[in-house]
Structure 1
Amino acid sequence: MLSPYSVVESVSPIHPVELPARDGGVVNLTELVEKNVPEAVSGHYYTNKYYIGSGDVQTVLAGQEYAEEYPVWYGRRFFVHDDGSQFSVDYCLDINSRSPENWSEDVKYIPEDDMPRLPLRTRILRPEEVDKLDSSLERRPLVISVHGLTGGSHENYIRAAFTEIHNIVPDAELVVITSRGCNRTKITTPQLFNACWTEDLRQLVKYVTQHQPQRPVFLQGFSLGASIIANYLGQEGTNIPSQVKSAIVVANPWDLKLCSVHLHSRLLGRKLYLKTMTSNLLRLVKNNRKVLSRDARYLATEPKLKTVKTMIDFDNLMTGPLFGFSGASEYYREASSVRRLKNISIPTLALSAKDDPVSGDLCVPYTEAQHNPHVYLSSTTHGGHLGWFGQTGPRWFATVIAKYLDAYLATVDLSKEPVQQPSDTNDFFKDGKFQVKTAGIVSKPLN
């Protein structure tokens, strides 16, 4: 039902994880959120922009640039895996409507001749700048963000979050890991990314925590990036580095199959959202054709790309085969982060909108979240996909993120570990079968 207001509905864990507090006591996750972030708690409401409560309108608004509202400037750094593949990380250098000092000169530094044209407000970090980023004495909190499908650090939702975090937690270092081939980065091996490709994030977290063991790390993901974060947390479980303190997932398409059904069920889903996403993916493939052509599987698929009309077509032809899935259906099943929700073992704040035309409310695991002590879930009646525009003030999700990070840093004793609590769900069904042990069977004659 449309309304000029967005109303929050929150779902707290049945037995929330207890965190060591700075005052020597403990604070559980629900108390932390509800005392410090009232915007994320059931009953909170705000007036929608233009007094319009429509997920489609909010999503269209979220597609604008907002250069003046969120003027974030970045320095780009590159990381290389042992197999020669690389990914980039954009570091927030400044949040200012005017360009940083010496920007016009610094932006001229291009270390390789064949580098793609840099995105707006982004430059390459010089070697001496990179060296300073790895100081073992660094103690400032680090926030690692993962963008949505074919996005990057330039996206307004990331800049909106960074702007508000900077206002409330000014000492936090803010970075964005770029999925391969996105945001004008080149790939060096014939591999792109998907919702459960977590290796680049895993290696970045490992690199940071090994080189800077004293700094707390926070993770946040948006849309497909939220799936990557949630999948990573679930894959790692209790093995996640102790420096990773908490995570935030925003507009996560928890169940990719349900999301696909939801998108195809609506005219705007088919004609606008899916068409745009598919077009962006095809352009990304085209831009990286030279390197992708090293893979025989891509060469076998390339002639068929001209027939691609939908995301399912693309995932059947590209994502599935290139990542070892039989096609879109298997990929959607295996990559859905809801499958790993119960394994998340660090405090995680999940934000969604009930009228999200992309992720869809049916995809949000309200019941499952209640049974994980580490997950607090907040949903709004309106907000669209990565929108949440109010009539005044910062966007709802940006306020919630910044206040949550500030509360966590101010309240929790980061030098101590929370008491690990298993999910409330039991292991009666595990590894694809019911865990029932019987001695065997004998034939029983009927009387």
Structure 2
Amino acid sequence: MATNRPASVPDPSARLDLSRCPVPAWLPGGHTQTLYGAFCAQHPAIRFVRERVDTPDGDFVDLDWCSPGLDPHVRPDGQPTPHESSLVGTAASRWMEPADWSRLPANAPALILFHGLEGSSLSPYMQAAAHAFRNRGWTVAAAHFRSCSGVPNRMARAYYSGDSAEIAFMLDHARSRLPQAAWHAAGISLGGNALLKHLGETGHGVRGLRAAAAVSVPMDLAACGRRLSDTVWGRQLYSRHFLRSIRRKIFDKAQEFPGSVDVLRTQRMRSLREFDDLYTAPMHGYRNALDYWTRAASLPLLSGIRVPTLILNARNDPFVPEASLPGSRDVSPDVLLHQPGQGGHASFVTGMFPGHLGWLPARLLQFFDSGR
């Protein structure tokens, strides 16, 4: 699929799919679909085996693995998994042991998943995807950004939407574990933006990656940041939800790294713009929220992607204004844009009441199998 077309010359023949996601009539509107998918829709519960990986700067990231040959409840020696107090409250049942790696199929297809803001392998969309791909015989690695695996990371910094270097590190590590596997990648929301940014920056240099997908992605971070910070729904519902866990993490950071964060101001913040101004931007090398939103956005880099990539965004996503979505002239010919009218944010609930989250994993599998 890859071409030699310069990244600066987008191809207007790039594909745009407007086919619908069959969201049920009893679930109208983007807000309803988003909230129901996050808190009410049925999805399989899946357990993982966790690996901790040290990063070059002295921190760590956690990857949760599942595969048809990997039993999260039984160790490689056949003994039941002991109670792991360090994993309480996570989706992992035990830690990976050296003998576990031989139980993973060396040549089977594999998927690395990147979650969204304040997500983890416990997130419904991660659980649904991991379950569906494992049932198809795939190996799945659910990668956690720093501070999101249920354990505080070691540094004052955490994670952010433009951290393409972290994506590259986790991709390289996963491939090193199973170098013969047919690797694919999928990112949701924040994780999707970071993944697309990495693909756009790297172009032909993404080693060993067959295809990628990005779902419910805020590619224009400034437009999405304004939507979440300046609208009533954005401030009173979504920002309030995210800031609840973010404040706790920042308070812990301030205790461990005195002077790194203005605790009083962060405890008073009421929007994601304030959070990005006070913490994300200065902690990760940006001047302020607007500078961060501008420089970390993946939208300007989509024309440089040279890996077969699906970008899936519902046009009624309450986080992502429809006007901010890319068109075929904004992306390379290796990108398929799928923009159904319904689906909400990272949700795409389908089926009879009470609904389920099976449509999204099936859409990803379809793309990885056929390129459509």
Structure 1 counterpart of 2:349, which letter?
F
Distance in 2 (alpha carbons) for counterparts of 1:44 and 1:197: 32
What RMSD in Å do the two structures reach over aligned CA positions? 3.0
- The alpha-carbon distance between structure 1 residues 406 and 367, as it changes in their structure 2 partners (threshold 3 A), is closer
- Counting only pairs closer than 5 Å after superposition, residues 143-154 of structure 1 correspond to structure 2 as 143-154=111-122
Q: Establish whether residue 63 from structure 1 lines up as the match of residue 38 from structure 2.
A: yes
Q: Secondary structure at the match of 1:229?
A: helix
Distance in 2 (alpha carbons) for counterparts of 1:84 and 1:265: 37
Structure 1 counterpart of 2:83, which letter?
K
In terms of Rg, which structure is larger?
Answer: 1
- The alpha-carbon distance between structure 1 residues 306 and 120, as it changes in their structure 2 partners (threshold 3 A), is closer
Structure 1 counterpart of 2:181, which letter?
R
- The alpha-carbon distance between structure 1 residues 266 and 125, as it changes in their structure 2 partners (threshold 3 A), is same
1:279 Cα shift? 2.1
> Match for residue 7 of structure 2?
none
1:367 Cα shift? 3.9
Distance in 2 (alpha carbons) for counterparts of 1:199 and 1:394: 30
1:306 Cα shift? 2.4
Q: Establish whether residue 260 from structure 1 lines up as the match of residue 234 from structure 2.
A: no
1:109 Cα shift? 3.9
> Match for residue 285 of structure 1?
250
Q: Establish whether residue 223 from structure 1 lines up as the match of residue 189 from structure 2.
A: yes
1:94 Cα shift? 6.6
Question: Contact between 2:141 and 2:174, CA under 8 Å: does it hold in 1?
Answer: no
Aligned identity (percent) is: 20
> Match for residue 359 of structure 2?
396
1:197 Cα shift? 1.2
1:175 Cα shift? 1.1
1:354 Cα shift? 0.8
Distance in 1 (alpha carbons) for counterparts of 2:304 and 2:270: 36
1:217 Cα shift? 1.1
Distance in 2 (alpha carbons) for counterparts of 1:235 and 1:130: 34
1:93 Cα shift? 5.1
1:212 Cα shift? 3.6
Question: Which of 246, 249, 258 is matched with 2:214 structurally?
Answer: 249
> Match for residue 383 of structure 1?
343
CA deviation string 1:314-360 (max 9, x = no partner) = 11110111111111110010111102111111010011111100122
Distance in 2 (alpha carbons) for counterparts of 1:280 and 1:329: 23
> Match for residue 297 of structure 1?
260
Q: Secondary structure at the match of 2:291?
A: helix
Question: Contact between 1:389 and 1:395, CA under 8 Å: does it hold in 2?
Answer: yes
Question: Which of 319, 342, 363 is matched with 2:280 structurally?
Answer: 319
Structure 2 counterpart of 1:83, which letter?
D
Question: Contact between 2:34 and 2:346, CA under 8 Å: does it hold in 1?
Answer: yes
Task: Tell me which moved more, 120-129 or 214-223.
Answer: 120-129
Distance in 1 (alpha carbons) for counterparts of 2:290 and 2:18: 35
Structure 2 counterpart of 1:54, which letter?
G
Question: Contact between 2:43 and 2:358, CA under 8 Å: does it hold in 1?
Answer: no
Structure 2 counterpart of 1:279, which letter?
R
Question: Contact between 1:75 and 1:124, CA under 8 Å: does it hold in 2?
Answer: yes
Question: Which of 303, 308, 317 is matched with 1:356 structurally?
Answer: 317
CA deviation string 1:255-304 (max 9, x = no partner) = 1110122234532222101221222221222344444x16x533xx2342
1:41 Cα shift? 4.5
> Match for residue 290 of structure 2?
329
Structure 2 counterpart of 1:123, which letter?
S
> Match for residue 95 of structure 2?
125
- The alpha-carbon distance between structure 1 residues 72 and 316, as it changes in their structure 2 partners (threshold 3 A), is same
Question: Contact between 2:90 and 2:149, CA under 8 Å: does it hold in 1?
Answer: no
How many pairs align?
Answer: 358
Question: Which of 119, 123, 141 is matched with 1:155 structurally?
Answer: 123
> Match for residue 416 of structure 1?
none
Q: Secondary structure at the match of 1:353?
A: coil
> Match for residue 370 of structure 2?
407
Question: Contact between 1:141 and 1:217, CA under 8 Å: does it hold in 2?
Answer: yes
- Counting only pairs closer than 5 Å after superposition, residues 162-181 of structure 1 correspond to structure 2 as 162-167=130-135, 170-181=136-147
Q: TM-score, normalised by structure 1?
A: 0.73
Question: Contact between 2:235 and 2:270, CA under 8 Å: does it hold in 1?
Answer: no
Q: Secondary structure at the match of 2:56?
A: coil
> Match for residue 81 of structure 1?
55
Q: Establish whether residue 189 from structure 1 lines up as the match of residue 189 from structure 2.
A: no
Unmatched runs of 5 consecutive residues or more in structure 1: 1-11, 17-29, 31-39, 412-447
1:104 Cα shift? 10
Q: Secondary structure at the match of 2:213?
A: strand
Unmatched runs of 5 consecutive residues or more in structure 2: 1-9
Q: TM-score, normalised by structure 2?
A: 0.86
1:129 Cα shift? 4.2
